[in-house]
Amino acid sequence: MDNLSNNWLTAGLIDFEYKKYQLLAYFKKVKESFGRVELYPHMADLVFHYRNLITIRDNKLLLRDAFPKELSTENIKNLEVSYREIIQDDAIMQELEAIMEYAVPVFKSSLDEGSVIYEFVESKCEIVPIGLTSLYSNEGYLFVSQPPESETNVYRYQITLFQEKQEALRGIHTNFLFSTSRTFSNTYENIKLGLIRKYAELPNPSTYLVLSKLKFPYNQTLMPIAKRLLVKQLSMVA
């Protein structure tokens, strides 16, 4: 099992052994990915499911929203009654509590393992500005390179701001432009100048290079971390 559904806890058979079997299959895939130093998409899934479990465990009333809602029109009329009966069913609640008691530490352990890998990869990467940085940093260019390739992948990035609860968060969207080899004449600064000539709408773009000292799986590990490094860097200079 590569992924868990968003409502895996309450979908299908609510039985401890069945859910444990589901989780064992899922975490086997996660461990195999982590063994290849492939962090994503499993790392994001782990964070999502762990936070959901903690929230539901600490507020059992939220179990109402966790149950699947694929019901017939007739059943929808009795939705509240059905949920009330489920929530008040001691046997089901005890089974759910047992599942959560097992699942929470397993998710936490896997998250900790992923975090160690993440921190190691991040420690092997550096992010530096190319040329002068612009006062407008919500849009610009990102260069990503890692050994032993001489090629640098060039992206255009755009930062979006959104509100989550009481906190303003930054999201990032990247668009791959091209790959180019860095040479004595084709320096990072010259690559940036070429972008300025080609895309006149960004006359003085903020441009950053993420350089990895080691080779990592690109799409599953390096690129997601490069994007997070860029967001962190921009939040420091904003």
Q: Quote the pLDDT of residue 167.
A: 55
Indicate whether 82 pLDDT > 50.
no
171 contacts 105 by C-beta, under 8 angstroms: no
Out of 81, 99, 123, a domain closes at 123
Q: For 174-231, what is each residue's pLDDT tens digit?
A: 999 999 998 888 999 999 999 999 999 999 899 999 999 999 999 999 999 999 999 9
Mean pLDDT rounded to a whole number for the chain: 85
Same domain (yes/no): 176, 100: no
Q: Quote the pLDDT of residue 79.
A: 44
Q: Quote the pLDDT of residue 210.
A: 97
Residue 5 lies in a domain: no
Out of 123, 156, 174, a domain closes at 123
Same domain (yes/no): 140, 73: no
Indicate whether 146 pLDDT > 50.
yes
> What is the span of the domain harbouring residue 214?
125-237
Same domain (yes/no): 132, 228: yes
Out of 123, 157, 181, a domain closes at 123
Q: How far apart are CA 93 and CA 1, in angstroms?
A: 26
Banded model confidence at residue 81, pLDDT cuts 50, 70, 90: very low
Q: Quote the pLDDT of residue 227.
A: 96
Residue 48 lies in a domain: yes
Same domain (yes/no): 130, 117: no
Q: Among the listed ranges 119-123, 140-144, 166-170, which one has the minimum average pLDDT value? A: 166-170
Distances (CA, A) of 167 to 22, 89, 164: 34, 37, 5
Same domain (yes/no): 80, 102: yes
Q: Quote the pLDDT of residue 1.
A: 60
Same domain (yes/no): 167, 233: yes
CB within 8 A of 171, min separation 6: which ones?
159, 160, 161, 162, 231
Residue 132 lies in a domain: yes
Same domain (yes/no): 221, 150: yes
Closest-CA residue to 218 (of 110, 141, 121): 121
145 contacts 209 by C-beta, under 8 angstroms: yes
Same domain (yes/no): 205, 219: yes
Same domain (yes/no): 59, 100: yes
Residue 7 lies in a domain: no
Residue 45 lies in a domain: yes
Same domain (yes/no): 203, 106: no
Q: For 8-65, what is each residue's pLDDT tens digit?
A: 988 888 899 999 999 999 999 999 999 999 999 999 999 999 998 888 887 765 565 6
Indicate whether 77 pLDDT > 60.
no
Same domain (yes/no): 102, 170: no
Closest-CA residue to 100 (of 128, 74, 66, 132): 66
Q: Quote the pLDDT of residue 221.
A: 97
Q: Quote the pLDDT of residue 194.
A: 95
Number of domains in the chain: 2
Closest-CA residue to 43 (of 132, 95, 125, 110): 110
Same domain (yes/no): 136, 49: no
Q: Quote the pLDDT of residue 76.
A: 45
